Every structure is written in C-alpha cells, then in structure tokens.
A and B are shown apart, each in its own frame.
Chain A
Amino acid sequence: MNMIIGLGVVLVVGILFMIFRIGNLLEVIKGKKEESDNWNNVNAALFLVFMVGGLGLFFWYSFSHWGSYEPPVASIHGKVTDDLFWLTMWVTVIAFTVIFIAMFWFTYAYRYNKDRKADFFADNHYLEITWTVIPAIVLALLIFKGLRVWTDITGPASKEAVVIEVIGQQFAWTARYPGVKDKELGQHNYRLIDASNEFGLDLRDKNSYDDFKSLTLHIPKGKEVLLKIRAKDVIHSVFLPHFRLKMDAVPGVETHFKFTATKSTQDMRDETGNPNFNYEMACTEVCGKGHFSMRFPVVVDEPDDYDKWMTAQDSWLNQNPDYLKYVPDNLKEAAMIKAGLPLTSISIETTQSVTLK
C-alpha cells in the first residue's frame, strides 16, 4: 500500500517536472517579452479578484456568523469593554477597508503599460502631515477612552466586595471562601501545604477556621466580587470569557481582579436558549501537559441562593479535624465553633491535652 502511494507521488512529481521543462522550452521558442506582459496583467487582475473576493468574504462571513463567535457578556465592566471593542472595531475596519481597496486598486490600475511612464512623485509634505496627524488624533481618542476603562477596571475594590480566593496548580483550580462567620480569608503559607492542607492554611490565624474549599466557583449576581488569585507551582492564568476577565496566577505574587456579574447562570440559559449553558473558567498561561484541561465550573447565583449555598458549606477545618492540633490551645474553642465542629467530642480532646500538660 505504502509502496503504491510512494510510486504515485514519484509519478506525479515526475509529470509536474516534465510540464515545467516543456514550459521552459516553449518559453525559449516563443520569445519572452509578450508573455511576461500577459502574466503581468494576470497578476494584476488576480490582485483585484483577491481584493473583491477577500473583502466580500470578510464582510459576508462577519455579518452572518458574528453571533456565534462573540461570547455573551455577563459583567458590568465587560459591557464597557465590549463597547470599546466595537468602537475600535469600526475605526479599524473602516481604515482597513479603505487602505485595502486603495492598495489593490492601485496595484491593478497602475500595472505595467509600455506606453506609460510612472509619475516621479517623491514627496508631499501636506499629505504626510495629514496622514500622520489623523491617525494620531484617532489613536489619541482610543487611548483616552481605553485608559478610562482600564483605570475603572483596575481600581481598588470596594470594602463590601465579596472576597474569593482562586488557586491554580497543575492541573486544577480550587477556590477558597472566607466563610460566613468572619468573612475574612485566613493567612496562608506555601510551606504548610501538604496533601490535605492544599491551601497552606495557617491555623494560627483565627480567620482561617471557617474558610472553606469549593471545586466550583460560585459567584453572587449583582454584587462586586474581588478575586484574589495565586498559584502554587507555575504561572497559570484565570480566564472567565463571559466576564471579560483575565488575570495571571503567579507563584509568590498575589494578583487580584474585581468584577460584578450581571447574569445568573439561569439568566444566561434563558438568554442563549441553551438549557445546558454553564459558565466556565479556563487557564490561559501555558502551564504544562494538562494546560488544556484546567476547566473550573462557574455558577452565578441569585444573591439569596448564594447565601444559602454559603451557609450549607462545611468549613475546611470541619472536614479535616486532624488539623486541630495545629491550632494554638487558646484558640481551640473558637476554632471549633467557627469551623462548626461539635464542641462535645473535641472538648474531651482538649481536656485530655490539658491533663497531659
């Protein structure tokens, strides 16, 4: 089988080569000049065809298929970003179309003609100033608008913002919530990380007792959320396409991004008509073999549902009571209350430790 394919390829290449040789010989016999003029016209015409066809395809496809490409937007700043995107789009598409047409039209219209001489046009200061100043002004407007949006997006989050920590590692995301009791994330230290304590929670900090882990990112609709982002091993990047949000997760550096979701998962299902719609978070900084599989499911809840979900979660300490031993003695009781551990069972342990002392 392979032999036959191989032979076939050799044959085709051989035939092409023969055609090429015969073409060369014919060229020598017929003489060069006239034919090269014909080819010149062919190339010029092809440029024209390319211009018309290319622009036609571009506009037709963009208008007919746009809806399937732009992910529906679901955040306040995302809406603003999209407006800026469309403004830039119109400016660039207009500029692109005009230059594209001019360039290929000139290419066609001024193809070689032996009766004509090119125009000796080497300089024109007015023209040059015009096309330096106009792009400069247009760009200045885009910069001005862009920087205002950027400043808003990157500005400090409000005090009331819901804080959620997102942690990247090879090749999964986890989220840590501050818990309903203190609403503060506890301290962490990468040296405390082990198989169970994957956050590196520092249990000497009382804010850590009610922190809980989630393998789905739940977000309340309509409330400002501050994502605190970190990575354990290599650089990852948080990408929430529907919220127009991206921020690297860098080991050793805490990054953050604030945003407000405007549509719950259910809203989005209604809007897109897709009953199975789900928000997703992806990794966009190459991080190794499983880079492409770092999917983190995202759910936007109505505020009431979000509160219900929050209260229903077990704290991390509750799930890992062994780690109580790292809690300083004077905080043990507070820790147990905050973590939702039954005081009775543990109080025996505490008394034991007291007697041991």
Chain B
Amino acid sequence: MATIDIHSHTTVDHHDEHNHGHAHHGNFFTNYIFSEDHKVIAKQFLITGMAWALIGGCMSVIFRLQLGFPDSNLSWLKPILGGWLTPEGKIDPEFYLALVTMHGTIMVFFVLTAGLSGTFSNFLIPLQVGARDMASGFMNMLSYWFFFLSSSIMFTSIFISTGPAAGGWVIYPPLSALPQAISGSGLGMTLWLVSMALFIVSSLLGSINYITTVINMRTVGMSFTKLPLTIWAFFLTAIIGILSFPVLFAAALLLIFDRSFGTSFYLSDIYIGGEALPNEGGSPILFQHLFWFLGHPEVYIVLLPALGITSEIISTNSRKPIFGYKAMVGSMLFIAILSFVVWAHHMFVTGMNPFLGSIFTLLTLIIAVPSAVKIFNYVTTLWKGNIHFTPAMLFSIGLVSFFLTGGITGIFLGNSALDIQLHDTYFIVAHFHLVMGSASFFGMVAGIYHWFPKMFGRMMNAKLGYIHFWFTFVGVYMVFFPMHYIGIAGFPRRYYSWTNFETFSGFADMNFMISVAAIVTLAAQFIFLFNFIYSIFRGRLASANPWNSNTLEWTTPRHPQHGNWPGEIPTVYRWPYDYSKPGAKDDFIPQHIPYSETPESNLPHENEEIKLEGMGAAIVVEENKH
C-alpha cells in the first residue's frame, strides 16, 4: 500500500518539474489553512507551538508565584483563575498540581515535540534534501490537523469545572485512573487521554512522512553521507517516534479501559473513598514500564532535532566545517538506539528487581559517552573558527552550554545508588529542565532566528535578538541552576509548599530568587514575540542566502513557492560543510557547486570525483525513464 502511494507522488513530482513555469494558485483555504505545502504546514506548527509555549510558560510563572511568594495574595489573578483561587487569594493545591501537569504535558508534547519537529522537520527536510514537497502532502496536512484537534481538546480541558488532568505529566495510575483520588482524574483525564491519542496519530503521520521523504526523495547526488546533520537528526527522531509513540498509545488505551470499562491492567488492592475496589491482579508498575518506553525516547525526540539545528547553525556561523561529521552522525545513531534501552532509570525506586536496576544503570551511563562526544565536537567546531554572533548562533551556544550543564548531572541520576536520594527532588527538575527543556527550547528559538528569512522573506531584528538571548540565557541559568542545591537539600518536586516540614522549611530566599528569575525570563520572551510578529510584516528584506550558508534551502528564491525551486532541483556534489576551505575565494561553497568549478580548493580525493560528476547526471536520466 505504502509503496503505491509513494510512487504516485513521485510521478506528481516529475510532473511538477516539467511544468515549473506555472505557479500553484489556490484559494485562501487551500493555500493557508488546508494547505499541503510543507512550508505552510511548518508555519502552522510553529505558530501553534508558540501559542502553546506561551500558555505553558505562563502556567509555570503562576506556580512559581506560589513557590516563590507563598504569603502573597493573588486575588488580582481572579479574572483569569476564577474559582481556582481560594477565598484567601491562594492557588488551590489541586489546581497547583493541575498547573504542573499541564505545564509538563504542554511543554514536552505540544511545544518541544510538535512545535519543534513539526516545524523544522516539515520546513527543512524537503528544502535541505532537495525535494519539491513531502512524500505525501495530504498526510502532512492531516498530521497538522490532528495536532490541531488534539490541541483544541487539551485546551478545552483547562476550562472544565473539575479541572484538567492533575496527576503529573507522567499520569501514573492509580492516581490518574481514579476520579475519587483527585478531581483532575475525572473528565480532565479523559480529555487528556483522547487528546494524546490524537496527538500520537499526528506524530506518526508526520514521522512516516519525514522518513519516507528522507529515504526516497533526496535530490541527485544527495547521498546519506552528504546529508546535513539537521536532516540526520530529524530522520532519526522520526524513527524513534514511530517506534515509541505506539507504545504510549497502548499504555493510554489500557488506561482508558481501566478507567471506563472496569478492567484491571494497572489496578490492584485499592481501598479508596471508604470502599475496597474490586480490581485485582493488575500492576501500576506495568504502566510505568510502558510509559517510560515512550517517555525516555521522547527525551531524544525532543532533543535530537535541537542538536541537529545547532550543528548546522554553529558550523555556519563559525565559518568552519562541523568537527567530526561522521562521529556526530554515529553518536546520534548510537543515542537513538540506546534511548530504547534505558527507560527503567526513571523507575529505580519503584521496587523493581534490583538486578534490573543494575542493567539500566549500566546502559544509562553508556549513553553519556556519545553525548559527551557531541559536546566535544561542538566545542572543537568553535575552536579556530571565525564566529559571527547572530541571534541564532547565540542560542546555539546557549544550547551547548545547557546540554553540558544539564547533561553532566545525568551522571549522578543515572547511577541507581545516587538516584535513591535524588529521585523526585528538585535536582531532577534542574537536570531535565536544563538538558532537555531549555536546551531544546533554545534549539527551537535558534532555528526560528536562523530560518526566519527563508520562512518569511525578511530578517528578524538582531539587536532585539541579542537582548532576548542574554535575558533568557542568564535567566534560565538563574532559574534552574539553584534548583540543584535545593534538590540536594532534598526538596521534593510537585510540592505546593514545604513549610509542613522542618527539613524543607529553609531556602525561602532561594525559591524567591528562582521565581523572580522565572518572571524575568518569561517577560523576555515577549521581546521575541514582538520581534517575530513585527519582522514578519516590517522586517528588513532578506537576501536569498543571508548567512552565506551551504545547504540547499538557500538556493531557493526569497519567497519559495509551492515546489520550492522555480527551475530544476539543484544537483548536489559535496557535503554541506565546506566552510573556509583553503584556497577557495569565498569562505563557503554551497552543496550544489560541482568540484569541477572549484579546482583551487579541491582536496586530492575530490579531484577524483570530478570525473564522476558527468556520470552522475547520466545515471539520473536513466532513473527518470522508469
């Protein structure tokens, strides 16, 4: 079935090539709403993702108000929060949990999965591999609209009277299965599950498309070894997504059965609300295994695209080839594989077999090696570069810095013996917010700054970008770095307040400082928002290749139309990182420049390839005859 689809679309593409003179005119609906053009779909994902990021960010500030200013009166938030404020002007403890839950769900899935992969995989894969569009434009459109539907349902759940899901973004049953345990496990949880099921459909439709496009629709000469690292990252991310999201779907489905149809997959021996439930024989731990089988790869689904984007941006703006291209691909591949066998490190203290804990410790710490290699390669790429600090570059350096700071604490947490103390404290909050939250968020922002000219044909204001960066970069460190300390002090996460405990009653000043930093950081995002919207309409006009970059997307016109290239799709002759090549007259040589045109800078083995260049074209003609 699948192959038939691909073939039919390939034919369409060839058809396009013959009719490249005609622009694709459609009406408003087919162009901007139910569009099948990957660039428009990417923008749809981007705008939706940004809206979600704003909602998720505001939620975090609301619960930071509770943690940093526990005695303040929040009545002024009454117009927004309504009944979720107690009469004394405090946040309701249950709503606090709902906020934490929704913040996690929104940020992990709706912003950093859909917003990041959805935007940049869609936008960049066809442009960077040299394709006119995705393998299936229709599926791509469906992917966005499933995401939109899923978003709408999740958004609706925020406003229902029993509140949205409140059992943590990991929705561990029995808490998430029993409405009598917490009111968010009523309708809110049902909507959460339905929304996530649709989200998974969207994600799978997208991933299948990304994989198919990367495998089948690369332009002539674009071998896998010439793929930009962005594409490698998106490709591996899509594979991880396809293998892991269905498991979450299964987990969610069984939870739906437990909640609505009286099964006992996750429930056993429960006495709640004055009655013993009939469920017996299930295991809540089973859910955790299923959840983290997605949940851990999900970390890399979020992180790898950001790392791919960063590789491209750092290389371009250092005017230097990325150091160790093969090692970068290799480590991503290794990370992708290992990401499936480390899930139980989230479960060291669930009472699972200690021997299993040993195995997962071993595998988890192995994954630190390719991660370290990536950091070293980034740093070496900066070494002896000629660095342009564009806003995108600043955010990319910020990403590497977060990846280092947050990643290194993983060495503590991955070691099961140390995890006993640190598990579910603020140490872990600091760890994952830096290494996957902030790092991926910075990757996304860097990507927006870098590809904005190609998306909208205009430049974003650089100075506002600098201000945005410095406030955000320092702000994020001020928010999350101190959390290591209070984590070591044992402060448990998801606590509404700590004053019930003598052990945790100190450090109110630290929590105050963190909250202030969080507010400043959120405020700085409005600079970005302004810059983004303003620049779409009034930004300086962009040139076709404003960053002097090598990859194929910069060979398209300022406003690429549906089909991307007005003429033939360029043929690729070299890898994407020929920056500052000795002998070359410019400090960059784009991928579509044949070696025969650059005899002055060719390396010995590249001169050999000149002979093949003509033959390559001949092979293409052969292929087209089929």
Residues of A within 8 A of B (CB): 20, 23-24, 36, 39-40, 42-44, 46-47, 50, 54, 58, 65, 68-71, 78, 80-81, 84-85, 88-89, 91-92, 95-96, 99-100, 102-104, 106-107, 110-113, 116-124, 127-128, 131-132, 135-136, 139, 142-143, 146-147, 149-151, 153-155, 169-170, 190-191, 193, 195, 200, 229, 232-235, 237, 239, 241-242, 244-248, 250-256, 276-278, 280, 282-293, 295
Contacts and interface: CB of A to CB of B under 8 A. Distances in A.
Interface string B407-445: 011011001111011011100000000000000000000
B351 A253 contact: yes
A41 to B, nearest CB: 9
Contacts of B377: 128
Contacts of A239: 424, 490, 492
B452 interface: no
A120 B320 contact: yes
B416 A146 contact: yes
Contact of A121 (B323, B378, B409): B323
Contacts of A232: 270-272
B379 A248 contact: no
A122 B385 contact: no
Which of the listed residues B320, B477, B581 has the most CB atoms from chain A within 10 Å of its own CB? B320
B192 to A, nearest CB: 15
A71 B409 CA distance: 19
A117 B490 contact: no
Nearest to A285: B424
B373 A23 contact: no
Contact of B321 (A122, A135, A193): A122
A46 B469 CA distance: 11
Given A128-B324, A251-B284, A292 B497 contact: yes
Given A117-B386, A150-B361, A200-B271, A246 B502 contact: no
B319 A118 contact: yes
A121 B372 contact: no
A172 to B, nearest CB: 12
A235 B175 contact: yes
Contacts of B276: 190-191, 193
A169 B400 CA distance: 43
B369 interface: yes
B357 A71 contact: no
B242 interface: no
Contacts of B383: 106, 110, 119, 121
A69 B489 contact: yes
A35 B283 CA distance: 64
Interface of B: 93-94, 97, 167-168, 172, 174-175, 178, 181-182, 267-272, 274, 276, 280, 282-285, 318-327, 349-351, 354, 357-358, 361-362, 365-366, 368-369, 372-373, 375-380, 382-389, 394, 397, 400-401, 404-405, 408-409, 411-412, 415-418, 420-421, 423-425, 461-464, 466, 470, 473-474, 477, 481, 485-486, 488-490, 492-498, 500-504, 506, 577, 579-582, 587
Contact of A233 (B270, B420, B423, B490): B270
19 contacts: A20-B464, A43-B466, A91-B411, A119-B385, A122-B324, A131-B376, A146-B418, A147-B358, A150-B415, A151-B354, A169-B271, A233-B174, A235-B284, A239-B490, A245-B421, A246-B420, A286-B168, A288-B182, A292-B495
Given A96-B404, A234-B272, A288-B97, 7 more contacts: A106-B382, A118-B580, A146-B361, A150-B417, A248-B351, A288-B182, A295-B501
Nearest to B386: A118
A132 B181 CA distance: 48
Given A237-B349, A239-B490, A251 B269 contact: yes
A239 B493 CA distance: 12
Nearest to A23: B463
Given A106-B379, A139-B366, A112 B388 contact: yes
A46 B97 CA distance: 38
A291 B94 CA distance: 10
A103 B389 contact: no
Contacts of B388: 40, 112
B369 A132 contact: yes
